[in-house]
């Protein structure tokens, strides 16, 4: 499977004027009888998340592997990278990078009920006065499909 979208993004800011940037988004996927592998990537404008930033150009990319270990047990592994180029009214305000790693298991109890357990690690670099961070998240739960 291949999906591609692209074009031009335009932004008009009241005190900053107009800017244009290319926009691209794509997915490349492979599916077999017991696993699937997907790569997604994108580039374009996104909403700023830091103080003093008026424009953020973002590149995102990630790989996700789902593998059926048995007829009821499946695993998911993913790695995602995110890079922001930030600009403010006075010029460049810096770049920021983040990395996400994901590992998960899903056990199908019956056709409507499934148990899942996930681990997620996130690391984000600092941007100006905003410090970077890293965190570990664990989750577990039941899913019911009707």
**Distance of alpha carbon 136 from alpha carbon 75, whole angstroms:** 19
Structure confidence at residue 113 (pLDDT):
96
Flag whether pLDDT at 91 surpasses 70.
Answer: no
Q: What is the pLDDT of residues 22-56, one digit of tens each?
A: 889 999 999 999 999 999 999 998 877 777 777 78
pLDDT of residue 14: 74
What's the confidence (pLDDT) of residue 89?
67
CB 51 within 8 A of CB 75: no
d(CA 85, CA 97): 9
Percentage of the chain beyond pLDDT 90 is 64
| Structure confidence at residue 27 (pLDDT) | 96
Q: Which comes out higher in pLDDT, residue 119 or 9? A: 119
Task: Tell me the average pLDDT across 95-116.
Answer: 96
pLDDT at 64 over 90: yes
Sheet holding 91-108, edge to edge: 2-13, 17-31, 35-46, 55-68, 73-88, 91-108, 113-124, 133-144
37-47 core/surface letters (b: 16 or more CB in 10 A; e: else): ebebebbbbee
- Of 103, 111, 107, the closest CA to residue 144 belongs to 111
At residue 76, the pLDDT reads 97
Query: Please, which residues have CB within 8 angstroms of residue 65's CB and are 6 or more apart in sequence?
Result: 35, 36, 37, 76, 77, 78
Q: Which of 103, 98, 104, 102 has its CA nearest to residue 134?
A: 98
Handedness of CA 106, 119, 98, 67 (dihedral sign): negative
Taking the whole predicted model, whether its pTM rises above 0.75 is answered as yes
């Amino acid at each position: 499977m291949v999906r591609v979208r692209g074009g031009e993004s335009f932004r008009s800011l009241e005190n900053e004027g107009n800017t244009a940037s290319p926009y691209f988004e794509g997915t490349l996927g492979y599916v077999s009888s017991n696993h699937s592998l997907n790569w997604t990537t994108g580039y374009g404008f996104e909403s700023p998340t830091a103080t003093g930033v008026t424009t953020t150009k973002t590149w995102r990319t990630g790989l996700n592997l789902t593998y059926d270990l048995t007829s009821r047990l499946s695993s998911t592994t993913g790695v995602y990278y995110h890079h922001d180029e930030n600009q403010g009214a006075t010029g460049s305000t810096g770049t920021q990078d983040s990395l996400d790693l994901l590992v998960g298991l899903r056990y199908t109890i019956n056709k409507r009920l499934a148990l899942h357990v996930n681990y997620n690690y996130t690391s984000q670099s600092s941007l100006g006065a905003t410090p970077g961070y890293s965190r570990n998240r664990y989750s577990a739960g039941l899913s019911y499909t009707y």
